[in-house]
Amino acid sequence: MSQLVASLSLKEFFKSLLTEVTTRQRVSLAEVTEFYLVNLLSEFASTDTLFDREEDGRKAQEPLAVLYHQALQQEREARIRTLRRLGDVSLYTVGFFSGALEGRVVGPDYYIQMGGTAYGQVADLSPAAGFAGVYRELRDKFRAVVEVLEEISARGMVQAGPSGALKVYESWVRTGNDRLERVLVDAGMMPRAKGRLAN
């Protein structure tokens, strides 16, 4: 029973945070898309869901190109599942770990392109009465949703303690990202500049 309560609390936490950040960033999402994102965040809160376990017991993420190649070889239902996973993993990875992707051979833009394309294909393959609208909205607003997740990630890191706050600060110094600055100001770690961050 306690596991169920914890799960519900996690979803409530993510729902509250998602509503707060989408409102602040003026990102309008359908209610069913918000529901999808809350479930995605809750599911990927466990790294066992995000990563696959290799034969030697280590956790690793399947390369996006491999997932895409697998999807092309599959029948319709399996293809939908694989493409949805590709979209979900891309969205979560670039939303929560974009700083770690900077300067790598496969950077944030690659994840954004792959994820948006995957969601678009899922929308085309899904029945119109199902979640096709959700996948279409995620395709169309992929970059905006990534920015929402980046802010959610930064807020979580600041709340986690000094080392997380330092990472957010270092990322802000490196990028000058307004969303990161707002997170630091809201946490009382930086003074509010006059005429800025009014939202």
- Reply yes or no on whether the pLDDT at 198 is more than 50: no
- Can you tell me the distance from the alpha carbon of 137 to that of 31, in angstroms, rounded to the nearest whole number? 11
pLDDT of residue 127: 84
Q: Phi and psi (nearest 5°) for 52?
A: -95, 150
- Look at 191 and 79; give whichever has higher pLDDT: 79
The structural domains of the chain, with segments of one domain joined by +, span 2-52+59-186
Digit-coded pLDDT (tens) for 143-172: 999 999 999 988 888 877 788 788 888 888
- Reply yes or no on whether the pLDDT at 188 is more than 50: yes
Q: What percent of the chain has pLDDT above 70? A: 83
The CA-atom distances, in angstroms, between 58 and each of 51, 55, 174 are 9, 7, 31
- Helix, strand, coil shares, percent, the chain, to 5: 75, 0, 25
* Nearest CA among 9, 10, 25, 14 for reference residue 146: 25
* Nearest CA among 33, 53, 40 for reference residue 96: 40
